[in-house]
Amino acid sequence: MDEKGNKSKNENGQEKTTLRITGMTCAACSGAVERSLRKLEGVDFAAVNLATETALVVHGKDVTWEDLQKAVEKVGYGVSDELPEEIDRVRYLNSRRNLVLALAVTVPLMVLMLFHMAGYHLPWFPALELAAAGFVVFYVGRGSIKGAWIAVTHFHTNMDTLISVGAASAWATTLLHVLGVPIASFGSIGAMIVALHISGRFIESSLRDKAAKEIKNLLKLRAVEARAVIDGKEIRVPIEAVVKGMTIKVGPGDRVPVDGEVLSGRSSVDESMITGEPIPVLKEKGASVTGGSSNLTGEMLMTVTRTGEDTFLSKMVSLVQEAQGSKIPIQALADAVTRVFVPVVTALAVTAGVLWYFFFDRFYPLVSSAKAYLPWVLVTESRLSFAVFVFVATMVIACPCALGLATPMALVAGTGLATKRGLLIRNAEAIQTTKDIGVVLMDKTGTMTEGNPSVTFHNLSPEDLAAAAAIEKNSGHPLAKAITASAGEDLPVVEDMEEIAGKGVSGVVNGTRYEVGKPASYDAYSGYLEAGKTVVEVDREGVSAGFFAIEDRIRDDSPAAVEGMKALGLLPVMVTGDNEVTARAVARQVGITEVLSGVRPEDKLDIVRTYQAQGKKVLMIGDGINDAAALKGADIGMAIGSGMDLAIDSADIVVMSGGITKALESIKISERTFKVITRNLFWAFLYNIIAIPVAMAGLLHPAIAETAMAFSSISVVLNSLTIRKGEI
């Protein structure tokens, strides 16, 4: 974790920085920041998320944090290096104070205004209205005025522009009225606009924080200190001082501070916030532990293996923030609209006001006839009063916030739900694509099986067994660990080792060359293969020395997952490098009928392309090592792994715990999230298409307009929160 934002690198060596942006109030603000960042030389990509108030920037090594800060400040906004929790706390306290002040002044003012309108004329009311409304508009609402001023002085407009101009225009009518100009006084309406706006933003902010609960919970898992054991003494040190190789003590009830390996002790550890699995995991000597998990029962000593931004939790937080900050294709239309929204609405408001001023006598009788049905329609003989009334209503009814929040709020809720379910969505576009999947390609070992194979039989001599185990110890293949574990710890030295993907490994041990891999012929092993076991043959100087029979248990959820895929109309296909007999034996157990066996890693991508050529969207599920090319080439790549072995660089979605059932969950989350996004955008567009013409026609009171505008933003957030409800 960099002291000034989150930093990481992608597979191309580019740096990715996450910034906390301050001062944004609407989609127009986030759009201005995003455009400024993208114009910076050396920046390849930038996405600003209004919902989480963050910016994700992909850039070259020459671009510094200070360069990014200047680009943000260039358009009037700020970058904070404070902790998100502290920023949120200060923002909450300020907004609560402003809300109390606004309501304390506006509510009595509105009561007096109603008395005044009912005929109980108070001679001192205009002066009181001028002072009280001025206090609310220019002091309590100074944040909006500041935001509008920043936007105007940096040659763009935002939501604050609409609110500030509308409220100030309403207050100005009171000033003119006090000065003797024959115009209706709308000062109280100006105060009401600001009060309603602040109320709406307070509610919206609270709901947005609730929608982002999962990422906030992840941030809370980060430890601030650790109990280091140095020279036999226990010392509490800041987490920043913890280094790789240090010995840390973790007691019952403690949070594991960083990633490490257990040196001694035995305990149950709760990893639910990281993996989504509620059952505690037993940890003892040699087991890996993940920072952020909770130690439940015993005391453990652990050695630190990863710190800072290299820890699993830091990477996980970074990836979730990256996914929440990225954009999906459906958002393009909303972005295009919000870029021109405020200038267009301002022009419409001015046009409506001017037209009403000049054509008041012709059109007002039509509007006044609606008074019986719409009691808030202004009754006046002053063309100037009605023109201002229409101008203010049109300014405050418009709502680019609903459009700007429609997609990012749903993404925040969707990716948060996925994280809670043990799914890490790296690429937000997967939210839109996963629902359209037609074919699911699945590797066998470590995907449909548990990925913990064990040797059930071998006929090797002790010398050949030790040689084979020594060679396999240096291999990254899933079966290698099982072969290595079948021998003792005292293994010979291997020279001239070579590994050929899809075939096996070879090496020289004590002057003798061994080859460990696929048999040239499976004829002699039919009994093992039909039982679903994998056979690995060992050759010594080109002559067979024996073989291993290896079994990898099928995951408990695999048969149900395959059945679920079929129920959704998907075609499940097994793609494995194992032999056909073993592959079909496993396929029968899980319910798969289409099997492609004996496939080399480089051929899996061709299989993906074949299905894509048939017009089908392909989801590839693998362990992310031999399947890397296929994971990249598929429409959606899903890597199944655990801990720091996650194949995050190749996959769009990473399964932190569990099996192929997670593919079904990801599809359902995608469908639910995309449905909410389209619903959000539909209602946001419909609201503005209907509301703006009604306001221009003089049929909408500014107070009702502001209430409707606030409700439109709140409804988008509330609708997004429904993603997290119900079963997956």
* Among 247, 238, 242, 279, residue whose Cα is nearest residue 265: 247
Q: Give the integer Cα–Cα distance in Å for 248 and 295.
A: 13
Q: Give the integer Cα–Cα distance in Å for 78 and 29.
A: 11
Q: Which residue's entry shows tokens 């910076």?
A: 40
Is 623 in a helix, a strand, or coil?
coil
In degrees rounded to 5, what are phi and psi of residue 156?
A: -150, 175
Q: Give the integer Cα–Cα distance in Å for 640 and 520.
A: 30
Q: Which two tokens stand for residue 448?
A: 């449909």
- Taking residue 119's Cβ as centre, other Cβ atoms within 10 Å add up to 6
Kindly state the DSSP code that residue 277 receives in the 8-state scheme.
-
Q: Which residues of 167-178 are buried (b: 16+ CB within 10 A; e: fewer)?
A: bbbbbbbbbbbe
Q: Which residues pair with 547 in a beta bridge?
A: 537
In degrees rounded to 5, what are phi and psi of residue 678?
A: -65, -35
The answer to whether 364 touches 386, Cβ cutoff 8 Å, is: yes
Q: Which residue's entry shows tokens 């993404």?
A: 411
Is 177 in a helix, a strand, or coil?
helix
Residues classed as catalytic: 443
The DSSP H or E segment spanning 78 is strand 78-80
Calculate ∠ Cα 118-119-124, nearest 5°.
110
Q: Give the integer Cα–Cα distance in Å for 533 and 258.
A: 38
The DSSP H or E segment spanning 680 is helix 661-696
User: Is the dihedral angle over the CA atoms 517, 523, 527, 529 positive or is it negative?
Assistant: positive
The answer to whether 64 touches 28, Cβ cutoff 8 Å, is: no
